[in-house]
Structure 1
Amino acid sequence: MAGLFGLIALMLLSTAPGLMAQVDRVDEEAVKIQELFIDASREKLLGNYDEAISMLENILRKDRENATAAFEMARIYEAQSDRDKSLKYAKDATEWDADNIWYHKFLADLQQQAGQFEEAAATYERVVELEPNDEQSYYRLAFLLVKANEIKDALKVYDDLETRLGLNEEVIRRKHTLYLSQRQDKKAAEELLRLIEAFPDNVQYRHLLAGFYEQIGEGQKARSVYSDILNIDPDNAKAKMALAGQSGQETDEIRFLNQLKEPFYSPDTDIDVKIRKIIPFIQKVADTGDQSLADALLELTDILEEVHPGSAKASSAAGDLLYHSGRKAEALPKYLQTIEEDNANFMVWEQIMQLYEETFQFEALRGFSERAMDYYPNQPVVYYMNALADYHLGNHDAALSTLQQAGFMAGGNVRAMVLIYSLQGLLYQATGDTGAADEAFGKALATDDTAPPALSRYAYALAQREERLKDAEQMARKANELLPGQAAFQMQLGWVLYKRGDYQEARAWLQCAAENEGSASPVILEHLGDTLYQLGKVEEAVANWKKARAAGAGSSALEQKIEQRKLVE
């Protein structure tokens, strides 16, 4: 035996040098791969992607299943927007190192970007296996399944997550949304009822259920839930607001709005909730001009301004109500207050400029439009309004220059181009260039031959020239039919009729214009005075000429008309 053991020992010793050499070679190869990887990483950081790829390919030739090299190749190809190669190497990385969660997450991102939602979901299933306690991984998996239209599987993921977490509001909300998207209203309601059952004193969950019932048209169920809320919290303003005027019978609008006063005084109810409650009534005022309804709503907006000071939404709503119920002078301060509280709503800026135009406050319009240019330098309507102000103030060259800028910005905006071309027509008319005026009006009508501003302004220009008066009358009448109640259009039709010798009807239209905010316009008042003089009403004519002088600059003959108490052409 001793001899045998000796022989074995001799044999082992004789093979040891070969084994040691093999270990050295393996270690040397690993070191070379490590060096290559370091060099590749450096080149990648420097943006030398081709050199980095070459080195990583060399690594993969030496070590065919090197997951780290494959992952880095995938990242480089992603940076180069080569989706196919990036996906290939990312898949290789996950196959060669199936337990590396970051490889799977990266692959799922690539698959999602490529619209491969089923594949991305399958990849994320492995992420959940590797990270079973990470809540966000479940949400991501469910999201990918929804994108892949695998709704049942997504719901199962939420069920699995709920098993781990217990009853969870976020999970229930997401399940509720999924059931809702599938029109499974009963199951959607059941999810919210589970929340209420678990937290019976939390009225917010009951509000969610009531809102859901309202959304699907189950008004009676919604009212029942709101009643339950008031049993728990008798002062709950949102529930009171929801039940106002909803006893199950029809009630008049004013009474309904009066019932909203108490909940509107609650500072805890978000102003958006309150505003949403009255928006349909504000729209009705806009459509009908109903002053009684507007007054009832203004009482509520007063409460909103008191309870939510500094809220632009309250002052803006008040401005809309005043404007649409015919109280433009009162609306203006509300709109100005709105932009002081929040200057980011361009529609309010535009409304203010429109108000200045409609009330013939052209000095104010010029100053305000210049201010608007600082905030909204790319809005063509701002430049148009500035040019309009300059036109009425007699600054014709400045107006034409500003209109040119407006035209550059307007692009394909038909409404803006109609306004710009038709105002150019008035400006060229004022400077005596009737050819350019006709060309501009032609462009306006070619852009939209039913646009009231283009029709009315061209008619007025023709009347001033005493040309094509029959055509002018047709255009002016059409403008007033398409957009009634505009003082400028009423005045322009009145002047066309004056030039046609129909002084009685001209007086009627000019009187309408003067009563419709036109009492501040020297042009309207002077035209009305001229018409009254033609009808033999000298005292009334002189009175209107004096009003025109007090309102601002009239024609060059205005002073002579007043002094001589007669018409001076």
Structure 2
Amino acid sequence: MRRIVAFSFLLLSLLLAEQSAAQQKPAPDKAASSAEKKPRKLTRRERKELAKRAEIETAGQQARPLSERDREMSESFFVDGVKYVLLEDYNKALERLLKAYALNPTNAAINYKIAETNLLSGNLKDATNFAQSAVKLDPKNAYYYLLLAQIYTSQKQYDDAAKVYTSLIHDVPGSNYYLFNLADLYMAQGKLDEALATFDQAEKQFGPIDEVSFKKQQIYLKQNKLDKALQEGESLIKANPEEVRYVLAQAELYASNNRPADAIRVANQALKQDPDNPQARMILADVYRQQGNAAESEKQIKLAFESPALDIDDKVRILVDYIRQLPNPKLNATALDLAGITMRVHPKEAKAFAVAGDIQIITENKKDARDSYLKAIHLDNSKFQIWQQVVLIDAELNQIDSLQRHTDQALELFPNQASLWFYNGVAHLLKKEPTKGVKSLEYGRKLATDNPELLAQFDTQLGDAYHELKDYPKSDAAYEAALAFDANNAQALNNYSYYLSLRGEKLDKAKEMSGKLVKQFPDNDTYLDTYAWVLYKLKDYNGARQYLEKALKTSTDGNVIEHYGDVLFQLGQKEQALTEWQRAKKTGEASALIDRKIKEKKLYE
């Protein structure tokens, strides 16, 4: 099918027919060009001064015919002006062009070039005046009309621009192809009937044109004339039976206008032409979904995802839509399958593995999610968010070696991320490396000063780390800092009170903190054990026994069982104490004194 392309007037506007052969443009002097200062727009005062000088000089010239000398000077100034327009020095360009105009004001090309220069320098008023003059002086030059139309359009004077196009088409032979410009202008104004009429006029001149049919479809849809829009689409398909894109566009039009049977028919027509076309599959998937046919919809979307022709970015957008709806028992399996297909079809795309990891983590497939994230990192290690997800999964799965390894790797790339230092410090603490843990935590804490919540987490971990190093003043200070931010920080309250009880210091404070936790969490066996041990240190053995027995209803922790044995021993129930110590030993979690307690049947602390 033929296509008509409107020429850009700017490509042919440097020298026009009105100038003689003597006005051939000389090559710009390179040395002079490099020495020119950066061009600037004329001020209003400068423009007025230049125009005034031109008017004065013009008045003196109009009374007499143009001499040969004046003609040559005008041509010289014109060529000079064109050179400075090319150099974007509109100040000097206008100065030369206005001198040419003063000598020869009825020259259409000079008027045109002054208009164009004023447009480029932002002086639309003068641009309009000179462009109008150029059209009047040479009403058969299409480029003069086009410049005037552009100037009107830049001022949002669309009606005037339309009139210019209409005059151009009417007055300049061979200008019918500007009907397309006029129709587009009508569309931009919302004058849909005028646009349709103009497109129809253009098609009478040049025959059917596919781009025009698309635009007419848009107009019909805006006018709620669906049948005409569909008719235009069918005409396109008939005229271009080999173009599958027209078939797909028609299928989408049917689908979006609640014509499912026609949408399925036309989409299948596209698949006959191109059996692997993913867009046709996506249209079918959407239509079947709207009809409630979930199985067929799922089948079609999976077939679409199997095609490498469906762009990875399109697949990611679809998967992100699934993520917004997850977790959902009806969608989880489909989302996971689509993520798996995407990774298989696009094995070199980091984003395929990243979005798959997001779906896997939401659907509680954390190990698979970490594997996917790690593959994404292998392909592109520059995304901090993906590293962060890996680290969080390591911590949640309590895989300490992985946590340390991955934080070490991530910190090489993102040394200023406080959260990475936090988890790196935690990994060292869990591996019984408190010195390394303190180093990471103290460094990361300096980076977290603008995040009070994260700062409190650092302080809590530092309290644990300094306790392991037996630096009790720093440990206490860290816990106090954490509790100053959040008085209900459970980890700080529990660990601080427990460590104070082990040291036998500030027991009243320890009782207050652990008692607060027990009131908030009356069934938490860890907090019950801490509170019982504080009571034990305060020699309230009966109270300690009461809370330990409550803790042992849910806990099988060796330390809790050993504590219960110690309490029973203090209450004189030595045989029962021995039984509890033996039970604690079997768990493998008792203290280093457990064997001695059992062997000598005595309490050692």
Of residues 410, 413, 417 in structure 2, which corresponds to 1:383?
A: 417
Of residues 207, 215, 236 in structure 2, which corresponds to 1:195?
A: 236
Alignment-derived partner of residue 219 in structure 1:
260
Asked if 1:336 corresponds to 2:374, the answer is yes
| Rounded Cα–Cα distance in structure 2 between residues aligned with 1:544 and 1:88 | 98
- Pick closer, same or farther for the CA change 1:437–1:81 going to 2, 3 Å: farther
Asked if 1:30 corresponds to 2:71, the answer is yes
Q: CA deviation at 1:32?
A: 2.4
Alignment-derived partner of residue 319 in structure 1:
357
Q: CA deviation at 1:112?
A: 3.9
Asked if 1:396 corresponds to 2:422, the answer is no
| Rounded Cα–Cα distance in structure 1 between residues aligned with 2:519 and 2:188 | 56
Alignment-derived partner of residue 287 in structure 1:
327
Write out aligned runs for 1:94-173 (5 A).
Answer: 94-125=135-166, 137=178, 139-173=180-214
Of residues 82, 105, 108 in structure 2, which corresponds to 1:64?
A: 105
| Rounded Cα–Cα distance in structure 2 between residues aligned with 1:249 and 1:174 | 30
- Pick closer, same or farther for the CA change 1:46–1:270 going to 2, 3 Å: closer
Moved more, 209-218 or 427-436: 427-436
Write out aligned runs for 1:161-310 (5 A).
Answer: 161-200=202-241, 202-229=243-270, 239=280, 243=284, 246=288, 250-251=292-293, 257=298, 265=306, 283-284=324-325, 286-288=326-328, 290=329, 294-310=332-348
Letter in 2 for 1:319: G
Q: Conserved in 1, the CA contact under 8 Å of 2:441 and 2:458?
A: no
Q: Conserved in 2, the CA contact under 8 Å of 1:316 and 1:338?
A: yes
SS at match of 1:287: coil
| Rounded Cα–Cα distance in structure 2 between residues aligned with 1:125 and 1:476 | 82
Measured against aligned partners, the alpha-carbon deviations of 1:327-355 in whole angstroms (never above 9, x if no partner) come to 11111222333355567877656644554
| Rounded Cα–Cα distance in structure 2 between residues aligned with 1:541 and 1:279 | 50
- Pick closer, same or farther for the CA change 1:539–1:247 going to 2, 3 Å: same
| Rounded Cα–Cα distance in structure 2 between residues aligned with 1:226 and 1:219 | 10
Q: CA deviation at 1:185?
A: 2.9
| Rounded Cα–Cα distance in structure 1 between residues aligned with 2:311 and 2:551 | 53
Q: Conserved in 1, the CA contact under 8 Å of 2:186 and 2:195?
A: yes
Larger radius of gyration: 2
Q: CA deviation at 1:399?
A: 0.9
Write out aligned runs for 1:426-437 (5 A).
Answer: 432=474
Letter in 2 for 1:397: E
Q: Conserved in 1, the CA contact under 8 Å of 2:456 and 2:482?
A: yes
Q: Which runs of 5+ in 1 are unaligned?
A: 1-21, 375-381, 408-416, 444-453, 478-492, 512-527, 547-557
Letter in 2 for 1:320: D
- Pick closer, same or farther for the CA change 1:194–1:50 going to 2, 3 Å: closer
Q: Conserved in 2, the CA contact under 8 Å of 1:258 and 1:296?
A: no
Alignment-derived partner of residue 20 in structure 2:
none
- Pick closer, same or farther for the CA change 1:326–1:108 going to 2, 3 Å: same
Measured against aligned partners, the alpha-carbon deviations of 1:371-419 in whole angstroms (never above 9, x if no partner) come to 6549xxxxxxx82433433443521332134446xx5xxxxxxxxx576
Q: Conserved in 1, the CA contact under 8 Å of 2:422 and 2:458?
A: no
| Rounded Cα–Cα distance in structure 1 between residues aligned with 2:560 and 2:135 | 90
Q: Conserved in 1, the CA contact under 8 Å of 2:152 and 2:161?
A: yes
Q: TM-score, normalised by structure 2?
A: 0.59
| Rounded Cα–Cα distance in structure 1 between residues aligned with 2:455 and 2:117 | 55
| Rounded Cα–Cα distance in structure 2 between residues aligned with 1:153 and 1:474 | 79
What's the C-alpha RMSD, in Å, of the aligned pairs? 5.3
Letter in 1 for 2:237: I
Q: Conserved in 2, the CA contact under 8 Å of 1:315 and 1:334?
A: yes
| Rounded Cα–Cα distance in structure 1 between residues aligned with 2:368 and 2:113 | 67
Q: CA deviation at 1:156?
A: 3.0
| Rounded Cα–Cα distance in structure 1 between residues aligned with 2:134 and 2:479 | 73
| Rounded Cα–Cα distance in structure 1 between residues aligned with 2:180 and 2:347 | 40
- Pick closer, same or farther for the CA change 1:568–1:310 going to 2, 3 Å: farther
| Rounded Cα–Cα distance in structure 1 between residues aligned with 2:278 and 2:311 | 10
| Rounded Cα–Cα distance in structure 1 between residues aligned with 2:560 and 2:456 | 26
Alignment-derived partner of residue 551 in structure 1:
none
How many pairs were matched up? 472
Q: Conserved in 2, the CA contact under 8 Å of 1:425 and 1:441?
A: no
| Rounded Cα–Cα distance in structure 2 between residues aligned with 1:152 and 1:297 | 46
Query: What fraction of aligned residue pairs are identical, expressed as a percent?
Result: 23
Q: TM-score, normalised by structure 1?
A: 0.62
Letter in 2 for 1:338: A
SS at match of 1:195: helix
Q: Conserved in 2, the CA contact under 8 Å of 1:369 and 1:385?
A: no
